[in-house]
Amino acid sequence: MKLCMIGTGYVGLVSGVCFSDLGNDVICVDKDINKINNLKKGIIPIYEPGLEELVLKNYKNKRLNFSTNLRDSVKKSDIVFICVGTPTKKNSNSADLTQVFSAGKEISKSINKFKIIINKSTVPVTTGDELEKIIAKKVNKKYFSVVSNPEFLREGEAIRDFIYPDRVVVGSNDKKSSKILKNLYSPLISKGAKFVSTNRRAAELIKYASNAFLATKISFINEIANLCEKTGIDVEDISIGIGLDKRIGSRFLRAGPAYGGSCFPKDTKAIVSTAEKFKINLSIIKSVIKSNNLRSHLLLKRLTLIMKNKIKNKKISFLGVTFKANTDDMRDSSSLELIPYLSKKGAKIKYYDPTGYKKEFKNLKNVEFSTSIGESIKGSDIVIIHTEWNDFKSINFKKFSKNKKLIIYDMRNIFSSSKIKKIGFKYFGIGR
């Protein structure tokens, strides 16, 4: 099939590349000419394991192309995916849909035969209805169908998540489009993915409800971890003990710092805001947002206790600053709260991240980037493990530190506390 992806951010680029790998002809469109020129040279704008190889392979075999010309690309395609950003609006909690609607307007100028217009961007329920109205101003409804096909990719695991999804959700108000989409996804369905066909509004809500539910699970275990810390229990035992109940499930029960990234914080706020428009109070999701907003503060309070109220001039090695491992994404990472606070309190921080230097800390006092794990740990009083990169899981602390009183604060519970204690260092985890 001939596909066009509008927007080469996470969702557009990963889905476009994977669709081309499944044998479709795909054009990825973006306004940003530098991005497009770079992609043509195989320079990928994001860090995502496996993506570069797939871009190079499919660009070379000409199934994948890149363009800044939206109208021309839409004309050449049967299915058009809108994959643009839906950030939180300034001074509001709702999603800013400007880019979705402006893509819709542009598309409407290029419809020369029947096309399926798919919203893959995360959009509040009823956005598809509005998009349909915008396009219908220029084009007769018999020449297009607006469909919702939300994406469930995780950064850092995006290729795998695309190829082996648990489910493919297609929300369409016409059967013909749903059938075409089922055919497009048939290589994944034949490998075991469930195909969920709903009406358009339901698919839009499935996406928000999924993210809000996962955020709830994380906040739930984070709060249980707080109780574990006071009662001498290891939260890892609780995660195993409850997760084995199939009604609960073991995934997304890892306690840690506040959840971050470009989705959970934004989407939990947006679903609450959408519900308010319909006079519905999503009180559970509201508490999740509140709990997560308090999380960094709680972790800093514990850190202050661990350091016996002496943060000034303490040397801190901070490992991993992105919102989680296997990504270079800093959006809503809890490090953006933790590091500035510690810098303000007079700590001397050397941070290291496998994805390199981060401009976000450029203007902070006594915060510098280390080019290796060893350089960051050397001479430090405390090591904070903020993300769960594999690179951190086998650190030999003794090799890097001569400090016999070294403290390790493992915010992802990647080490066994008894093993660290055995080598003579003080260890603190989350919910332990």
Q: For residue 253, state whether it binds ligand UGA (rule: CB under 6 A).
A: yes
Catalytic site residue 263? yes
**Total residues belonging to the chain:** 432
Q: Which of residues 187-216 bind ligand UGA (CB under 6 A)?
A: 211, 214
Our finding on whether 382 is near ligand UGA (CB under 6 A) is no
Does residue 261 belong to the site contacting ligand UGA (CB under 6 A)? yes
Site membership for ligand UGA, residue 254 (CB under 6 A): yes
**Nearest distance, CB of residue 386 and ligand UGA, angstroms:** 10
* Nearest-angstrom CA–CA distance, 300 and 293: 13
> How many residues interact with ligand UGA (rule CB under 6 A)?
20
Residue 81 binds ligand UGA, judged by CB under 6 A? no
Q: How far is the CB of 153 from ligand UGA (least distance, A)?
A: 5
Is residue 392 involved in binding ligand UGA (CB under 6 A)? no
Would you count residue 151 as binding ligand UGA (CB under 6 A)? yes
Cβ proximity to ligand UGA: between 66 and 323 the closer is 323
Q: What's the CA angle centered on 136, arms 130 and 138, to 5 degrees? A: 130
| Binding positions for ligand UGA, 94-123, rule CB under 6 A | 122
Q: What is the DSSP string of 26-90?
A: EEEE-S-HHHHHHHHTT--SS--TTHHHHHHHHHHTTSEEEES-HHHHHHT-SEEEE----PBPT
Write the burial class of residue 137 (CB in 10 Å: 0-12 exposed, 13-18 middle, 19+ buried).
exposed
CB of 368 to ligand UGA, least distance (A): 24
Smallest gap from residue 323 Cβ to ligand UGA (A): 4
Query: What count of other Cβ atoms lies within 10 Å of the Cβ of residue 45?
Result: 17
CA distances from 49 to 105, 299, 355, 396, 417 (A): 34, 30, 12, 25, 30
Per CB under 6 A, the segment of 138-146, 224-232, 258-266, 397-405 that binds ligand UGA is 258-266
Element (H, E) at 319: strand 315-319
162 binds ligand UGA (CB under 6 A): no
Q: Which residues are catalytic?
A: 263
